[in-house]
Chains A and B, each alone.
Chain A
Amino acid sequence: MHELAVAERLVALVAEEATRAACVKVETVFLHLGVLSHVEPSSLELAFLAASQGTIAAGASLRVERTVAQAHCLSCEAKITVTQRGAPCPHCGAFELVVVGGDELRLVRLEVW
């Protein structure tokens, strides 16, 4: 359950930004999670609920946007969008894909009071 470690870092970042902006409550936390990142959104949500207790982020809801990965097929040279590891190229069926991105874990925006 490494999502707890990620959630603890998320809470620390949210608290830092909320304090800097002198707000009293965090309503919504907007995140970008790459489809190939090692974080499961529902586990992160649960971990965030636990990790945010007693902090300014307590009670905030998470709004997660999944971001995709791009890949280059070494077999047919196609540029494709990848949503999971180990899937073949949709054009030629080969597995020789060089994947770029898709692993981001980013806090993008806060809705605050």
Chain B
Amino acid sequence: MCAICGCGEPGSANQHHPKDHPHVDEGEHEHVLADGTVLRHHHHDPVSHDPPMIRRMIEVERDLLAGNDAQAAVNRRRFLAAQTLVLNLMSSPGSGKTTLLEQTLLRLAGRWPVAVIEGDQQTSLDAERIRRAGAPAVQVNTGKACHLDAQMIERALVELALPMDGLLLIENVGNLVCPAGFDLGEHKRVVIASVTEGEDKPLKYPDMFARADLVVVSKIDLLPYLDFDCERFVRYARRIHPGVAVLALSARTGEGLPLWLSWLDSQRASLG
């Protein structure tokens, strides 16, 4: 029935139109709302209807990543309270992240407690490699997701104890695009690019390099077999991110690893 005059209700005595509420033809009538809006409509059948619907605008102003950012802030406070330096390592698949982590673990053994979170779409192959290298590791399988987010890190820390006064290394999903947009609560972002990927990666994947705190050029033991131009790579990286720190290494031969380890030292010292 009409919510205003009750017309149309089967058996209702009110089948006529009062003067202040005209119904022009079969079932057609109008409602005047409190704000003066006139809604004119009709019913094909003598049935009830809900209060009249009005199209309106709602001002919202909400950040789409606020949920992730809030969780990242919680993670960051937790890391700081435990005095754990946390690095988010990002690269394309096959850049040598896991090999670099294995070599880092060997060299830090007995110095700092280290733990690793491994992100991959599926399998626990990387976490197994890290455990064999002597560090606790938990594998996060993202399924169809192409990146880690702050909630996944929180869930991983249910299984993995934070290394107090140590280092937590998060190996993100191998992907130069998606992980760039998601804060995990890390202290620093490290982007790794291998020499076999070419010098143009910073220009092709600028979002990733724009947010890096350190860029690592890996697999430099292969330089004799390639045309990779290190200087050009650094120039391109700094075109995207002026002044970004870059270091070159080979996890296989150990060349450049002392620079990487002293960068880790300096970051840990700066936690305060």
Contacts and interface: CB of A to CB of B under 8 A. Distances in A.
B58 interface: yes
B60 A110 contact: yes
B206 A85 contact: yes
Contacts of B63: 104-107
A52 to B, nearest CB: 14
Given A5-B147, A37-B181, A38-B180, A111 B61 contact: no
Interface in A9-67: 9-10, 12-13, 17-18, 21, 23-25, 27, 31, 36-39
Interface string A77-113: 0000000111000000001111100001111111111
Contacts of B56: 23, 111-113
A38 B178 contact: yes
Contacts of B242: 74, 95-98
Given A74-B242, A95-B242, A98-B242, A111 B57 contact: yes
Interface in B137-161: 144-147, 149
Contacts of A27: 55
Nearest to B147: A2
Given A107-B62, A109-B60, A110-B60, A85 B207 contact: yes
A12 B61 CA distance: 14
Contacts of A95: 238-239, 242
Contacts of A107: 60-64
Contacts of B68: 9
B260 to A, nearest CB: 26
Contacts of B145: 2, 4-5
B65 A9 contact: yes
